[in-house]
Amino acid sequence: MHIDHVHFYVDDAVLVQRGLVERMGFRAVSSEAVFSEAVSPTPLQTRGAIAPSQSLHTDHPTHTIPHTQTTRVQWGSVCCLLSSPLHPDSPVADYLRQHPPGVVDVAFWVEDLERAIAQAQAAGAKVLVESRPLRQGAEAIAWGAIAGWGDLRHTLVQRQSFDGPSATPCLMPWGDDGAIALKPIRSTPQPTAFPRLDHAVLNVAQGDLDAAVRWYQTVLGFVPQQRFSIHTPHSGLHSRVLAHPNGTAQLPINEPTSPDSQIQEFLEVNRGAGIQHIALQVEDAIATITALRQQGASFLSVPQDYYTNLPQRPACPISAADLARIAQQQILVDWPPDNPQALLLQTFTQPIFDQPTFFWEIIERTQYVANQQRKQAAGFGEGNFRALFEAIEREQLRRHQVYAPLGNRPYTNSLNQNDGLFEEGGGERRSPQGGKAPLPPICSPNFRN
């Protein structure tokens, strides 16, 4: 089992596509698809001019109104679907009334789709779509879908080989078919390639960690690999790492251990469990992060004393020249003391949406030879966990200074009749000094220029 693709529900798929292309190095690889539903006789209305009271569900349909748009971006074999609502009755609009923009579906490539669905169903999972075919050009695939933890979904895809998807099922709970193959478009080569999706991290509520681990064990066949805990003077978390025995899919799951935990903040803003971040494995982290910074991507800040102390760690394998390059790009580094050639480099973007929820991880697992076998660095940067946790805490504190709280007002979405975007109601953006707020995230509705 491998991670096949990731599906986001967002306010504006075109805007998010632009942010990922211009700031993160993705490229648009398919034309926009629009899902429509038959409606009663009224003038065809366009995005931003549809009142919430105008339902798509009628007894006497005569024409159709578009309700959801979907596009696809890709970087190497990393494929992301982006869907946004064109009408308040869109299933994406329904999701965004309950959650901020984020990941709704982590899709898995499986060798035997019917067996995977049967196993999931026998373990008590809700099957959303039974096995069905889908064709894109010369590629024919089979796919189905199950409900995951919380409101997460898992599309299961069976294709002849796992070398990057071209036909990509796009599950929409609307109509009889519920999926399309997005039409490819020409695009320019990318300067840096992501070989694959490395892992996805799921945050769950306190007390749900063991139950979530059992669910992914019995439903999808994951196997627990390791567990760890992190505690600082301010907060903490418990985490368990799952990996699939027949593939590359890895799924760390976190739960908070304190009310002020960054995991708890995610759960409150996301209004439930969800995917906190996805790691993209690269061949050269320094070159990739340098290029992304030049394109305008923002990453977590790492204090200089981290790099001052790094050579003092046991069996440090980093030369002075490499350490200077690593420190310049603020990359975290880890290695096992008994095997220092298994070097792992990683860093994390700032949240890509207005809310402090989803972000990307960039990770490089260096390759080495041991016992005449080629291997690559494993793990998740355990030696960096405290440094990472404290870096995110600093950002958490900064957010509390930048966003004026509005009491217990929950996250809400409302359709803006002027521009058709959803506006977030969670706090007023301002700086602590009363000046301009920081630059908007790369996939924010405020990212215009």
For the chain, how many residues are written? 449
Which of 237, 290, 253, 208 has its CA nearest to residue 396? Answer: 237
pLDDT at 402: 39
Identify whether the C-beta of residue 19 lies closer than 8 Å to the C-beta of residue 350: no
In this structure, the dihedral spanned by the alpha carbons of residues 122, 126, 128 and 134, taken in order and rounded to 10 degrees, is: -30
CA–CA distance, 149 with 209 (Å, rounded to integer): 11
Tokens for 397, please give them: 């504190």
CA–CA distance, 12 with 444 (Å, rounded to integer): 9
> 2-158, what's its fold?
2,3-Dihydroxybiphenyl 1,2-Dioxygenase; domain 1 (3.10.180)
Q: Where in the chain is the domain with CATH 3.10.180.10?
A: 2-158, 196-398
Q: Which CATH class is domain 196-398?
A: alpha beta
Q: How many helices (H) and strands (E) does the chain have?
A: 9, 22
User: Looking at the whole model, is its pTM more than 0.85?
Assistant: no
CA–CA distance, 95 with 9 (Å, rounded to integer): 8
Label residue 290 exposed, middle or buried (CB < 10 Å: 0-12, 13-18, 19+): middle
b/e string for 97-117 if b means 16 or more Cβ within 10 A?
eebbbbbbbbbbbbeebeebb
User: Which of 47-56, 216-225, 340-349, 363-372 shows the lowest mean pLDDT across its residues?
Assistant: 47-56
- Predicted confidence (pLDDT) at residue 421 exceeds the cutoff of 50: no
Q: pLDDT band at residue 371, thresholds of 50, 70 and 90?
A: confident
Q: What phi-psi label fits residue 232: left (phi over 0), alpha (psi between -120 and 50 degrees) or beta?
A: beta
User: Which of 211-225, 300-314, 403-417 shows the lowest mean pLDDT across its residues?
Assistant: 403-417
Say how far residue 24 (Cα) sits from the centre of its chain. Answer: 13
Summarised one tens digit per residue, pLDDT across range 152-170 is 999 999 987 655 545 566 6
